Structure 1
Amino acid sequence: MVPRPLLDEADLVVMGADEAALALGTGDPRELRSLLPSPATLIVKDAEHHATTVERDGTTTTEPSLDVHIVEPTGAGDAFAAGYLAGVLRGLAPPAASASVTSPPQRLSAPRTTSAPHPRLRPSRPS
């Protein structure tokens, strides 16, 4: 289990509601935001139901999960995090990056953020 002070030092926290309930005593996104005020973005995944993004300023966006037949859930959370980070690297704002993972491509209209991608998340350039 990652200690709460360490989680609060992160720029981005992605966790399942069930994991959060075990580690921090709640899986509720708003309660988690009050426990972790420092990260720029907090994402709480609620299994196959939805993912909620809570920004530092309190802006909250909930995206429903794709309606798919789950054959094997192992790695689903890692795949979500990878898809989210790929969206951020492409310059999507956090809610749109989350939607890029949870929405079918034909329904997705993802606005770009007005600022450059986070410098720590920029892909390295070959030398």
Structure 2
Amino acid sequence: SSEAGDAMSYSRLVSEVVSNPDAHRGRQLRVEGDLQPGSILFRESPCEWRFVIERDGYALPVRFPECVVPDTFRDGFGIQVTVRGHLEEDGGFRANEVIPRCPSRYEMEERYEAGEAMPHAASAGEAYAPN
């Protein structure tokens, strides 16, 4: 990979970052996960939001040192969140951007991407038999 790539955000799974933190320190990361219900905490002075994103049994604690978060970022089930920022020494994630995702749109994208990854998985050897 090129040196220029280091300036960009690497897109990573929660499991990748949590299971191998050393490989991800010192880079700008983009991590996507599910908001852990009940994990949102807000401190007023200085402003900081804390919450946890999880996926596949792995959990990543996130700190977001801002006063305001997007309107769609709220506690609840089925909330997907993408965070951009970097991994800190203690294994926590310091976000400089928090992007909540609409679940329905996200699920559609996920299905589309899964279909792209394995376009013939559903029909292989079953309904389709070439001569």
Using structure 2 for the length normalisation, give the TM-score.
0.27
Using structure 1 for the length normalisation, give the TM-score.
0.27
- Structure number, greater radius of gyration: 2
Task: Identify, as 1 or 2, the structure richer in helix.
Answer: 1
Q: Which has the higher contact order (CA 8 A, sep 6+)?
A: 2
